[in-house]
Structure 1
Amino acid sequence: MKKTVSEIQVLVPEARVGYIHGQMTESQLEGVLYDFVRGEYDVLVTTSIIETGVDIPNVNTLFVEDADRMGLSQLYQIRGRIGRSNRVAYAYFMYQQNKVLTEISEKRLAAIRDFTELGSGFKIAMRDLSIRGAGNLLGKQQHGFIDSVGYDLYSQMLADAVAQKQGQKVTEKTDSEIELGVEAYLPSEYIEDQRQKIEIYKEIRKAENEDQLTETQGDLIDRFGDYPIQVENLLIIGKIKLFSDLALLEKN
């Protein structure tokens, strides 16, 4: 850690460099981070501890050493520390020169390079499961085949398996396909923020009963006001799909 700090100071003598790591006390960590946020430091050198939810909007450049040794979800969390404002951000994931990467390391770095758009967390999770395997639920030991069933189905199968293990009743249902010639979506004129759109789509998709859909409908009105016909159609289709799944229908 201190060696890296010294190297940066040699390369950029005018840079003010701070550092944090997991062996520091809470007050020490807080003090350095607070100074960095206030602009007392130009560069912050840190271990992977930085992945645990630190929000520093003014940071726009990230360098990760030995990125090939980290897990995909860890890389994704670390990358999320930058680009948290309206400033363009850059992330560089590096590994030792001339080092021969393993197949898994290459796949992880390729995934973190490819998935950069909003909402990539879902795709990263699916790719991570594909690389590592989904475990005994879908295959032998850690060599499951998540690609063959999809992340949604895998998650549902896992939830059902846990519920059965806990002695809970699992409701049998299908994943029906609804085809209607209507516009059903969340218009940007109604909800501008893409993250909020994704969360609401997920709420409608994951609703397990009519009460949950009604609650989502109320939240929409409370947060965004009266909704247009496209949103009304979306909620109606969500209700149709809910009942179709419980009725074990495959296509409507």
Structure 2
Amino acid sequence: GGQIFFVHNNIHKIHFIANHIQKLVPEARLGIAHGRMTPESLENEMMRFVNREIDMLVCTRIIESGIDIPSANTIFINRADMFGLAQLYQLRGRVGRADEQAYAYLFIPKESALGRDAQKRLKVLMEHSDLGSGFQIAMNDLKIRGGGSALGVSQSGHISAIGYDMFLQLMEQAVAELKGEPIPEPLNPEINIPVSCFLPETYLPDVDQRMSIYRRLSKVTDIKSLSDIKDELTDRFGPMPQEAENLVLKIMLRIYAIKAGVSRLDATETAIRLMFSATHITRPEVIIEMAREHSDTMELLPGDGLKVSIAAKNGRGAVVMSKKILKELVLRGTC
């Protein structure tokens, strides 16, 4: 017989699911695979599956691409309604890579609990099961999501897709145009921190994947979206190396800097210098008041600046202190 993938895209409950399956089918040899395992453990588990020492692999969608195991001819996808159409198509493609008949089973709640779009996605997937049906699935996916309306109901995600801050920014620009008022340029702060910030090739060997992640990070406007990308990277590629962690922190500083009206941040182990944008700061008195309260470590600089003296042990410590100061400025409401 063939082998089986059981996809459960929730790391916190994956062991519970595996134990439940083991109770239902005691004779089955089970393995578990997800992105938060060490590279060695993940590789060992996958090799056991390839060598047919495992009958069923309980895993996250880490198997979505780059997996070619001809002996696997069955896939179960738990809570299929939570996946996108392209993801389901990719997962379905993990089986049926040999001459044997392949099977894909999608587990969903009661149909009454499914959203309209989820029902449409599952229907399209069932209708297009032939070889080379990817184009038809992509076209149907476009019809379901809609195209061309940035904020309209035909575009996936609505406000959540672009972020609440971006939505407000677009609305402010539209209102300003109607009133004939000048539209301020979006703040694009310069962040200089004493640590290396990049995605190492050893972590993401594929250049297209690295570029895709860089593009997504460059568009992040809120902390939750940044956290989601970090969780996704950890799930797909394992624990992040220090350089990648630093990159996430740098993006976080940028988000807080925009909210605080900071146009430039320079951090070292001994001092943090902040320069504020006069066109984006609406309450400069907050900065003055903060400098007075911390007169032993803070001083105002000419040209809308603030210097904070620190004693960080290393570059990472300077980054943490920078985050703390920016968060305090945001809470006090400089903008």
Retained in 2: the 8 A contact 1:135–1:142? no
Distance 1:109 1:132 in 2: 14
What is residue 154 of structure 2 aligned with on the other side? 143
C-alpha displacement at 1:112, in angstroms? 0.7
Task: Specify the alignment match of 2:103 in structure 1.
Answer: 90
User: 1:51 aligned to 2:78?
Assistant: no
- TM superposition shift of 1:96: 2.1
Is it true that 1:67 corresponds to 2:84 in the alignment? no
For residues 96 and 142 of structure 1, the distance between their equivalents in structure 2, rounded to whole angstroms, comes to 25
Q: Which amino acid aligns with 1:105?
A: A
> What is the correspondence of 1:92-241 to structure 2 with a 5 Å cutoff?
92-97=105-110, 99-136=112-149, 141=152, 143=154
Structural mapping, 1:1-16, within 5 Å: 1-16=14-29
Structure 1 segments of 4+ aligned residues over 6 angstroms from their partners:
none
Q: How far does the alpha carbon of each residue in 1:53-99 deviate from its partner, in whole angstroms, 9 at most, with x for none? A: 21111011111010011100000000000001111000011112465
Letter in 2 for 1:123: Q
For 2:57 and 2:146, the matched residues in 1 are separated by 35
Q: Which moved more, 1:53-62 or 1:92-101?
A: 92-101
- Secondary structure at the counterpart of residue 36 of structure 2: coil
Partners in 2 of 1:73 and 1:121 — Cα distance? 9
1:73 maps to a residue whose letter is A
Partner of 1:37 in structure 2? 50
Q: Contact 1:134/1:142 (CA < 8 Å) preserved in 2?
A: no
CA distance in 2 between partners of 1:54 and 1:94 (Å): 22
Q: Which runs of 5+ in 2 are unaligned?
A: 1-13, 156-335
| 3-state SS of 1:134 partner | coil
SS state at 2:31 partner: strand
State the 1:142 CA deviation: 6.7
TM-score, normalised with respect to structure 2: 0.41
For 1:134 and 1:120, the matched residues in 2 are separated by: 21
Question: In angstroms, what is the RMSD of aligned CA positions?
Answer: 1.7
**Cα distance in structure 2, aligned partners of 1:3 and 1:143:** 38
Equivalent runs, 1:16-35 vs 2, <5 Å: 16-35=29-48
Residue aligned with 1:82, SS: coil
Distance in 2, matches of 1:122 and 1:8, equals: 35
Question: What one-letter code is carried by the residue in structure 1 that aligns with 2:154?
Answer: H
1:80 aligns with 2:93: yes
CA contact (8 A) 1:55 1:84 kept: yes
Cα distance in 1 between the residues matched to 2:49 and 2:29: 10
| Percent of residue pairs identical | 47
Q: What is the alpha-carbon distance in structure 1 between the residues aligned to residue 116 and residue 141 of structure 2?
A: 13
SS at match of 1:60: strand
What is the CA–CA distance in structure 2 between the aligned matches of 1:20 and 1:75, rounded to whole Å?
18
The structure-2 alpha-carbon separation of the partners of 1:96 and 1:107, relative to structure 1 and needing over 3 Å to count, comes to same
Give the letter for the 2:58 counterpart.
Answer: V
Gaps of 5+ in 1: 145-252
SS at match of 1:91: strand
Structure 2 SS opposite 1:61: strand
Q: Distance in 2 between matches of 1:106 and 1:99?
A: 10
CA distance in 2 between partners of 1:51 and 1:31 (Å): 18
Alpha-carbon deviation of 1:116?
Answer: 0.3
Whether the aligned pair in 2 keeps the contact of 1:63 and 1:91 (CA below 8 Å) is: yes
Structure 1 partner of 2:189: none
Aligned length: 142
